[in-house]
Structure formats: structure tokens, C-alpha cells
Structure 1
Amino acid sequence: MKGIVYEGPNKLSYQDVPDVSPKQGEVKLRVKACGICGSDVHGYLGLTGRRLEPMMMGHEFAGEVVELGAGVTGRQIGEKVAVYPVDFCGECEMCKKGDVHLCLNKRAFGVLDVDGAFAEYICVPEKCCFTVKDNVPYAIGSLMEPLAVSYRGVGHAGDLSGKNVLLVGTGTIGLLALACVKMKNPRKIFVSDLSDSRLEVARSMGADVLINPSKQDFKEIIMANTDGKGVDVAIEAVGATPTVQQAMSALAFGGTAVWIGNNKPMVEINMQEIVTRELTVHGSFLYGYEEFKTVVSLLNEGKLNVAPLISKEITLAQAPDYFYKLAHDPGELIKVVVVDS
């Protein structure tokens, strides 16, 4: 079979790789769609230490069941599935608490030395597979993983009915957070970003007020649209000082910020503003098994509008070129998905 092998910083090759066979409790999938994550791009550049060559990346994927391993009873040949990309032990302290994403013995597909889904086939545990309805395209199915990240983050904000909500950043996670916010019946959704084209994608996904702070007065627009109070909730999906400061400055007294962005290890904020205005800050990281299960159900039920953020569908053979492009000249690309040709 063919795969995309990471051979070191800035080195990816499309080549023949050993075929795979399902072990006890596993299914073999023909990979039908796999998204290129920002962490994959950083791994390709050799910046994270979380890609150990030689290996194949890819953890945002959906596929078709083509073979059943011994002991598999809950899957059928031809079934369409999205994959929870963490093989958890089910026996450690964290698993027994229900926090399988924090499993002490976990293997994450496409991370470190564990091969992922930038290949024609992959074998995964049956327990990691979730049925995707026939009317949901495979490319949409590949969005389950980042969608679960956003869903968890938005969940920290609680009930959003009738509230004013700001989203800062229109990358994949920010736009998927927008889809989750839209589902929760807010009063008004504000979106801020430096890219006008990405803001238009946000508009197509239901944003009410678009702000490009390089061209507009951010604070003035927020206050004019909230009766001078500020927003109730601000979701930061970049992870850098300017955007964190922007999100915090927009909050009303007693407001809540959710930080999903994870770009810089240190940011500078006005602590006195948080203390004297009694603001709440929630950090959010990854997602759990149940959250993944929930977002699959929501997409199966057609409750989330996520298709607009897919910028490009490419073949497996094109992946090395697009990794280079995403790393050095992404332009207006948001989510690039490798699909089975």
C-alpha cells in the first residue's frame, strides 16, 4: 500500500509501505479522508518533538471497514466510521475514572512513533470506531477530531442562550467552535480575525458581526453592539498575547473567557482586570471519549454546519506538496483534507 512517510524535518515522501492486518479486537479501514492538522505541520517542520521518524502522521480521519479482526462483533464490512484516535488501555487509573484521553498507557495514532492515517489503510481498535451516516461525506467525517476539541471548549462556557459571544481566531478550531456556539442559540455571535476571507467563511457559518481589528475599531464595534456592556463569553482560539488581550478586553463585568488556543507557552494579560471585574477564565485541552461520541451524533443529525471550512480536498500523492505549502505559504487555506481518490 501507499503512505506518506515522515523522514525528518521538512522531509515527507509518498512511497510503498508495509500492508497492515487487524489484530484481535481491531478492524482494518480503507482511509477515505484524513485532515492535515496544524500539529502535523509543526511536526513536519520538526518543531514539536512529537513525530519520531520514520512514521506516518494523520489523526483526523474517517474510513470504510474492509476487514474484521478476531473477536470483532460490532462492526460490518463496508461500514463508514470516524475514528477516536487514541488507543486507551481501559485499565489504568485515568481510564477507570472515564478520562480515557488521559490514559497512562495510551497510543495516539499519528503521534510519536505510532503510524497514523496518511496511508491507504490503517488498523484501529473496534472501540475507537463510531458509525457515520451514509449521507455524511467522508471529508466531513474527518472533522470529528478537531470538532471534539472545539465542542469541549465551548462546553466550558455553559448555557449560551440569549448571550453575546465573541470568537477570536478563524482557524479550524475557531470556526468549529463557531459551529458549536451557533447550535446553542446565542443572542449574537461576534468573530474577530485579521483575514477578511476567513471572516467571510465565518459569516457563511452563522456569525452576526465580523471584525477585522487591523482595519476597524474592535472595542467600539463590540460596545456598540452590546449596549456598552461587552460580551458575556469570549472564546480565544489562537493562543497569543494580542488575541488573548483582545478577548479579555471585550468581556462584560463577570464575563467568562475560554482559552482553546495553544500557540505560545506564555502570554501577557492584565491580572487586575480579571480580579476587579471578576472575570472567569477556563482553559480547554483536547476532548474525551464521550465528547467525541457526541459530536459524531450531532453531525449525523445534521445539527452542525462545518463544510465551509474545508478549503481543499487533495490526493494522498499530493500531501507532501501541501504540507510544504501549509508550512510556508498557506494563503487562505483553512482545512486541507486528503481524500481517497
Structure 2
Amino acid sequence: MKGIVYEGPNILSLKEVGDVSPGPGEVKLRVRACGICGSDVHGYLGITGRRLPPMMMGHEFAGEVAELGQGVDQWKKGDRVAVYPVDFCGHCEMCRKGDVHLCLNKRAFGVLDVDGAFAEYICVPAKCCFRVADQIPYSIGTLMEPLAVSYRGVEHAGDLTGRTVLIVGAGTIGLLALACVKMKGAAKIILSDLSDYRLGIAREMGADVTVNPGSGDWKAQILAETGGKGVDVAIEAVGAAPTVQQAMAALRFGGRAIWIGNNKPFVDVNMQEIVTRELSIQGSFLYGYEEFKTVVGLVNQGRIHVAPLISKEVSMEETPAYFEKLAKDPGSLIKVVMVD
């Protein structure tokens, strides 16, 4: 079979790789779509240490069941599935608590030296597969993974009915957080980003107000939209000092910030403002098995609108060039998906 092999920084090669066969409890999938994540791009550049060559990346994927391993009876050939991309042990302390995404023995597909889905086929545990409805394109199936990240973060905010929410960052995670906030009935959704193009996508997805901090007084605009009080909830979806500072400064007294962004290890914040205005901060990391199951169901039911995020669908042959483009000159690209 063919696969895209990461062979070192800035080197991706489309080549013949060894075929795969499902073991007990596994299914073999024909990969029908695989999204390029920002972490894949960082891995391609060799700056994270989270991709160990030679290996194949790809953890945002959906496919068609092609072969069943021993003991698998819940699936049949031809079934359409999205994949929870973590093989968890099920018996360690974290798994017993239900936090399988923190499994002490986990293997994450497309990470470190574990091959992922930038290939024609991949074998995954049957327990990691979730049915994708016939009307949902495989490319949308690739968004289940980042959508689960955003969904977990938004759930930390609690009941949003009638509340004002700011989302800082209109990348994949920020826009998917917008979709989740919209579903939860927020009274007003404000989205901030430096890209007018991405802000246009945000408006298409239901943002009530968009703010570009590079072209005006963003704080004055937010205060004008909130009666001078600030927002109830701020969701930070970038992970850098300026965006964290913006999220905190936009909060009303007693407001709550959810930090999903995970870019810089250290950021400067105004601790006195946090203390004297009694602001709260909640971090959010990855997603659990049940959260992944939930978002697949929501997409299947048509309750979350995510299609505008997909900027480009490309072939396997085109995919290495799009890694380079996303790394060096992404332009208006948000989510690029390899499709078969």
C-alpha cells in the first residue's frame, strides 16, 4: 500500500509501505479522509519532538471498514466510521476512572513512532470506531477529533444560555468552539482574530460580532457590545501571551476563562487583575472517549455546523506539498483534508 512517510524535518515521501492486517479486536480501515492538524505541521518541521522518523502521521481520520480481526462482531465490511485516535489499555488507574485519554499505557495514532492515517489503510481497535451517518462526508468525519477538543473546553464553561461569550482565535479549535457555543444557546458570541478572512468564516458559522485587534480598539468594541461590563466567558484558543491577555482583559468581574490553546509553555498574565476581579481560569486538554462519542452523534444529527472549516480537499499525491504550504504560507487555508 502507499503511505506518506515522515523521514525527518521538512521531508515527507509518498512511497510504498508494508501492508497491514488486523489483529484480534481490530478492524482494517480503508482511509477515506485524513485532516492535516497543526501539530502535524509542527511535527513536519521537526520542532516538537512528537514525531519520530520514520513514521506516518495523521490522527484526524475517517474510513471504511475493509477487514475484521478476530472477535470483532460489532462492525461489518463497508461500515463508515470516524476514529478515536487513542488506543487505551482499559485497566490502568486513569482508564478505570474513565479518563482513557490520559491512559498510562496509551498509543496515539500518528504520534511519536506510532503510524497514523496518511496511508491507504490503517488497523485500529474496533472499540475506537464510531459510526458516521451516510449523509456525512468522510471529510467532515475528520473534524470529529478537533471538534471533541473544542467540545470538552466549552463544556467546562457550564450553562451558556443567555450568556455572552468571547472566543479568541479563529483557527480550527476556535471555530469549532464557536459551533459548540452556538449549539449551547449563548446570547451573544464575539470572535476575535487578526485575519479578516477567518472572521468571515466565523460570521458564516454564526458569530454575532467579530473583532480584529489589529485594526481598532478591540476592548472598547467588546465593552460596547456588553454594556460596559465585559463578557461572561472567554475561550482562549491560541495559547500565546497576547491572546491570553486579551481573553482575561475582556472578562467581566467574576468572569471565567477557558484555556484550550496549547502553543507557548509560559505566558505573562496580570495576576492582580485575576485576584482583585475574582476571575477564574480553567484549562482544558484533549477529550475523553464519551466526548468523542457525543460529538459524532451531534454531527450525525445535524446539530453542529462545521463544513465551512474545510478549506481544501487534496489527493494523497498532493498532500506533501500542502504540508509545506501550511508550514510556510498558509494564506486563507484553515483545514486541509486528504481524501480518497
TM-score of Structure 1 vs Structure 2, range by shorter chain = over 0.9
Asked if 1:225 is matched to 2:229, the reply is no
AA at the equivalent of 1:39: S
Shift of 1:266: 0.7
Alignment match, 2:117: 117
1:264-303 matched pairs, under 5 angstroms? 264-303=264-303
Alignment match, 2:216: 216
AA at the equivalent of 2:339: V
Alignment match, 1:236: 236
Shift of 1:50: 1.0
1:121-160 matched pairs, under 5 angstroms? 121-160=121-160
Shift of 1:332: 1.1
AA at the equivalent of 2:157: A
1:1-341 matched pairs, under 5 angstroms? 1-340=1-340
TM-score when scaled to structure 2?
A: 0.99
Q: Please state whether the residue corresponding to 2:201 is helix, strand or coil.
A: helix
AA at the equivalent of 1:335: K
| Residues in 2 aligned to 1:61 and 1:130: alpha-carbon distance in whole angstroms | 11
AA at the equivalent of 1:284: S
Q: CA RMSD in A?
A: 0.5
AA at the equivalent of 2:46: G
Shift of 1:122: 0.4
| Residues in 1 aligned to 2:273 and 2:320: alpha-carbon distance in whole angstroms | 46
Q: Please state whether the residue corresponding to 2:317 is helix, strand or coil.
A: helix
AA at the equivalent of 2:167: L
Q: Please state whether the residue corresponding to 2:112 is helix, strand or coil.
A: coil
CA deviation profile, 1:160-214 (whole Å, cap 9, x unmatched): 0000000000000000000000001111000000000000000000000011111
| Residues in 1 aligned to 2:106 and 2:186: alpha-carbon distance in whole angstroms | 37
| Residues in 1 aligned to 2:84 and 2:137: alpha-carbon distance in whole angstroms | 17
| Residues in 2 aligned to 1:209 and 1:51: alpha-carbon distance in whole angstroms | 38
Which sections of structure 2, spanning at least 5 residues, go unmatched?
A: none
Q: Please state whether the residue corresponding to 2:104 is helix, strand or coil.
A: coil
TM-score when scaled to structure 1?
A: 0.99
Shift of 1:147: 0.4
Structure 1: which 4+ aligned runs deviate by more than 2 Å? Answer: none
Shift of 1:76: 1.0
| Residues in 2 aligned to 1:213 and 1:48: alpha-carbon distance in whole angstroms | 29
Q: Percent identity?
A: 76
| Residues in 1 aligned to 2:213 and 2:52: alpha-carbon distance in whole angstroms | 39
| Residues in 2 aligned to 1:92 and 1:154: alpha-carbon distance in whole angstroms | 27
AA at the equivalent of 2:192: S
Which sections of structure 1, spanning at least 5 residues, go unmatched?
A: none
AA at the equivalent of 1:211: V
CA deviation profile, 1:97-126 (whole Å, cap 9, x unmatched): 111111111110000111000000000000
| Residues in 2 aligned to 1:103 and 1:256: alpha-carbon distance in whole angstroms | 29
